[in-house]
Structure 1
Amino acid sequence: MRFEELAGVSRAVAATPARNAKIDLLAAALRSLAGSGDERTVAAGAGYLSGELRQRQTGVGYASLRDLPPPAAEASLSVADVDLAFERMAGLSGKGSQAARRAEVAALFGAATAAERQMLIGLLSGELRQGAQAGLLADALARAAGLPATAVRRALLLAGDLKTVAADALLGGEAALAAYRLTVGRPLAPMLASSAPNATEALAATGTPAAADIKIDGVRIQVHRDGPAVSVFSRSLDDITARVPGVVAAVAALDVAAIVLDGEAVGVDPASGRAIPFQETSSRAARRDGVAVLAPFFFDILHLDGVDLLDEPAGRRWAALERVVPGPLRVGRTMLTTPEEAEQAFARAVAKGHEGLVIKSAAAPYDVGRRGAAWVKVKPRHTLDLVVLAVEWGHGRRRGWLSNLHLGARDPATGGFVMLGKTFKGMTDEMLRWQTEKLRSLAVEESEWVVRVRPELVVEVAFDGVQTSPRYPGGVALRFARVLRYREDKRPEEADTIDAVRAIHKGAA
């Protein structure tokens, strides 16, 4: 398939507001990709339609796109040509790699037309906002392949990779998708929680019986053990095994042959034995130049000794967890049957300094990768996970640091972000130093006053309420927003939506 055709589909999808029309456009493009019969073309093309590259890193930054040769007059690139070019860029390292990568960029962009270059820049910058998110692509893939949407979604969630599932669905059909299983050692998208303003409403959503799990201020982990081999994965499915030896040792000591566990890891101060703040826990888990002192606390089990437990009711999974994981390695849990018990459990959790509760249905299966009513989190304050869209240079004591954050909520309708306001509150000097370095690495445009960045960094903010505001495009703004912590363990597509913000505003009206 020609890359020019794919770029045209991307523009058409971005210009089409209706969801069903978007799906039709994407399904037609996926069928064209499948017509090539080439796995590389299908996987790469499906990724491009969702704004993703097959390669996790290409080494190409914004600066590399400044001095480009003139665009080509006529289109000549295929989807496979583009993927091979990105593959060569990603494979470069060592002495001379920067010059070689610049040459690869120049060759690719020199062969691309002006329209194709727009898509290439969007893919490399992570800003291809065309409204074709994973859920939309899953429906389009089902339509293109003539398969049940449930089969495609299930395979997508178990594999955690749209590109692989697209190639299997379009080239292998339903039999290929039916072969997807939980594979010990291969991470799967974690189940997620929705939010409620109080414990009573959370329990109404989950139904009874339910459990109230202490909400720990840690980083999400998924641990796989197959015999003596233990692997630990982050929320974003990155392998962090080498960085969390304490977690590995704890799971290696369990009396099991094979197990998959879901939980949280909390940083522990070696001197005092006390838990450390999330920001430090997160940075320890993320760093590559050493190991982190992290203690695990598990709340679910997905596989045990050859038996998958994903589809079992939560109550049965919890019973299995209690049999094989000792109490000190499990998250604190209280069973609930009434709203009064839920409110009492929440009050106890907050009084002990915890973030709150996650109330969970005892009847629900483990809904891989989904955020629904089976798990509902309750916190004692308004908080949102938002995306940094830009940042302003500080003044006075903060001169030389990037300080005032422009905050955006995710817009599911467009695939973009809606600005909700700015904040410079809640930041320590250490945070200011860190965010200055981090945000400059994400910069796409800098001026004397403001730096516009790729919308990749998620930040958790607390706020006092939501107010009507004609100043911002969403019509609402946060009141007294303040930074709590950065969430490097979350992707921008996991940020809270503008719909959630409007719901808070409506509830307060």
Structure 2
Amino acid sequence: HLVRIALGRLRLGIGDPTVLDALSFARKGDRSLRPVLEGAYNRVSDLGLIANTFWSGGESAVKALEVTVGRPIRSQLAERLPNPEAVIKRLGLVAVQPKYDGIRVQIHKNGAAVRVFSRNLEDFTLMFSELTAAARSLKDETLILDGEAIAYSKEQEEYLPFQLTSSRRRQHGIEQAAQELPLVAFVFDILYRNGRDLTDMPYEERLALVDEVIAGSTVLLPAPIIKTDSVEVLTKTLLDYISQGLEGVVVKRPDSKYQAGARNFNWVKLKRHTSGELNDTVDLVLLGYYYGKGKRAGFGVGALLAGVYDAEKDRFATITKLGTGLSDAEWRQIHERADKLQVDHRPARVDSILVPDVWLEPEVVVEVMADEITPSPRHTAGRVGDEPGFALRFPRVVSFRGADKRSEDATTVKEIAQLYRQSRERDRCQKVSRKPRFLPARPREWSQAIRQSPERPARLTRRGQALHSMGE
């Protein structure tokens, strides 16, 4: 361990779920206490605290751990459904909000003390100083707010893409960056107020409190919302937001509680998709890389081996190689980050048939679009026995999401299987209704033509007042 400190490599290759299992085994000899321990972990996000509490006070003491200002709560996450029809059929009446392409933030206020945490529990307090100042000026004594931070250009009067928002995550030049790329945060939930845990309160009641708490702020803004049980209204709202350059919408059950750390159908995301592509992007974890040739030899990286998270096994399984979608600067950025994550052998939590030139600790997350999911004997995602796993066809990187997602929050094997079933069902429907038409002879050309379609917005447009008027 002393050598690890000297080298600056303290990673043990053990995931948080494995530690929770180990605690349960230590006391009960099985995993039966995992739900209790995981529930506490979702509320307090501190493995050390949970282990100490569990060992000294047992199961009852762990159950008594409460939401506390200053300790981040693990974010609730959204499931996927293929279209508005499926959403209304499953959920009925829903609250609809825009899906911003920013950084998820959780803002904690305790008097004059304010802390800002990212989705992966990093402390962004100093980096996001304008959010800190705005929260400090709110009247309530104690608060926990959940929202999305996004950069705003005063000169262009528009909200900016994720890569520019992500550039605010830095250790140096913070004040200058705040002036050049000021942030606003769209607040879509409140989890705690003046000593009261609000996570068991219905969502529509929490929303009413959001408007009350942040009224008058020009930095902390309420996320626009409509309620509907109409497929037509949901479809129009989705298309309207996409036309403004947003990713899509998030729909929520108005009567749902906030379930920390959960991904379920109380929240569902609907995003842009085009014929020939998956219904959604996927978040992949980089597991290794291959050396570059030609121009990419200068970057040190030619292709990336990427995978998804298997939540049941607490392991990462391969699903594709990535070689397109990144700018020269992003290739260099990934190589620089990867240099710090290199390991001599395949990490214990990585399940792979392929062997890259360099193995990486599974920590870097990238957002990827692909044309489809296909069976593959070369990849391990979803593989059972002799059955093949899944692979992505024509994958390309959409964004480098190192700032706001933990590797365990990446797309899971279960979600990949769900997307595969959805795409197969969509293909069957299209075969029934599709009229013959000319397509380029090669799928790559078809994919390129789709990506260059003028129907796909090339940049984000200004949307502040427009969104609020729609929400009204």
The equivalent position to 1:369 in structure 2, one of 223, 243, 261, is: 261
Aligned-partner Cα distance in 1 for 2:19–2:360: 23
- Structure 2 residue runs of 5 or longer lacking an equivalent are 274-279, 346-355, 384-388, 425-472
Q: 1:332 is paired with a residue of what secondary structure?
A: coil
Aligned-partner Cα distance in 2 for 1:398–1:240: 33
Name the counterpart of 2:415. Answer: 500
CA 1:138–1:204 in 2, change beyond 3 Å: closer, same or farther? farther
Quick one: higher RCO (CA 8 Å, sep 6+), 1 or 2? 2
TM-score (norm 1): 0.71
Tell me the percent identity.
Answer: 32
Say yes or no: does 1:386 pair with 2:284.
yes
Aligned-partner Cα distance in 2 for 1:317–1:410: 32
Aligned-partner Cα distance in 2 for 1:142–1:196: 39
Query: 1:203–1:359: 8 Å Cα contact kept in structure 2?
Result: no
The equivalent position to 1:482 in structure 2, one of 384, 396, 416, is: 396
CA 1:133–1:193 in 2, change beyond 3 Å: closer, same or farther? farther
Q: Which amino acid aligns with 2:314?
A: G
Query: 2:286–2:304: 8 Å Cα contact kept in structure 1?
Result: yes
Q: 1:285 is paired with a residue of what secondary structure?
A: coil
Name the counterpart of 2:42. Answer: 157
Name the counterpart of 1:312. Answer: 201
Higher normalized helix content (fraction of residues): 1
Aligned-partner Cα distance in 2 for 1:132–1:258: 30
Query: 2:98–2:248: 8 Å Cα contact kept in structure 1?
Result: yes
Aligned-partner Cα distance in 1 for 2:59–2:109: 29
Query: 1:355–1:380: 8 Å Cα contact kept in structure 2?
Result: yes
CA 1:321–1:125 in 2, change beyond 3 Å: closer, same or farther? closer
Q: Which amino acid aligns with 1:226?
A: N
Aligned-partner Cα distance in 1 for 2:81–2:97: 15
Query: 1:126–1:454: 8 Å Cα contact kept in structure 2?
Result: no
The equivalent position to 2:136 in structure 1, one of 242, 252, 258, is: 252
Name the counterpart of 2:95. Answer: 211
Aligned-partner Cα distance in 2 for 1:147–1:471: 35
Q: Which amino acid aligns with 1:322?
A: D
Name the counterpart of 1:354. Answer: 246
Q: Residue deviations 1:37-90, cap 9 Å, x none?
A: xxxxxxxxxxxxxxxxxxxxxxxxxxxxxxxxxxxxxxxxxxxxx6xx58xx65
- Structure 1 residue runs of 5 or longer lacking an equivalent are 1-81, 91-100, 106-122
CA 1:133–1:149 in 2, change beyond 3 Å: closer, same or farther? closer
Q: Residue deviations 1:250-294, cap 9 Å, x none?
A: 222323222110001101235334222212212312445524432
Aligned-partner Cα distance in 2 for 1:414–1:174: 24
- How far is 1:506 from its partner? 2.9
1:408-423 matches, cutoff 5 A: 408-423=307-322
Name the counterpart of 2:429. Answer: none
1:413-452 matches, cutoff 5 A: 413-445=312-344, 450-452=357-359
Aligned-partner Cα distance in 2 for 1:463–1:147: 39
- How far is 1:416 from its partner? 2.1
Say yes or no: does 1:398 pair with 2:290.
no
CA 1:269–1:233 in 2, change beyond 3 Å: closer, same or farther? same
Query: 1:197–1:378: 8 Å Cα contact kept in structure 2?
Result: yes
Q: 2:68 is paired with a residue of what secondary structure?
A: coil
Root-mean-square deviation (CA, aligned residues, Å) is 2.9
TM-score (norm 2): 0.76
- How far is 1:403 from its partner? 3.1
Which structure has the greater CA radius of gyration? 1
Name the counterpart of 2:212. Answer: 323
Q: 2:391 is paired with a residue of what secondary structure?
A: strand
CA 1:175–1:418 in 2, change beyond 3 Å: closer, same or farther? closer
Query: 1:147–1:173: 8 Å Cα contact kept in structure 2?
Result: no
Aligned-partner Cα distance in 2 for 1:125–1:214: 37
Aligned-partner Cα distance in 1 for 2:89–2:171: 40
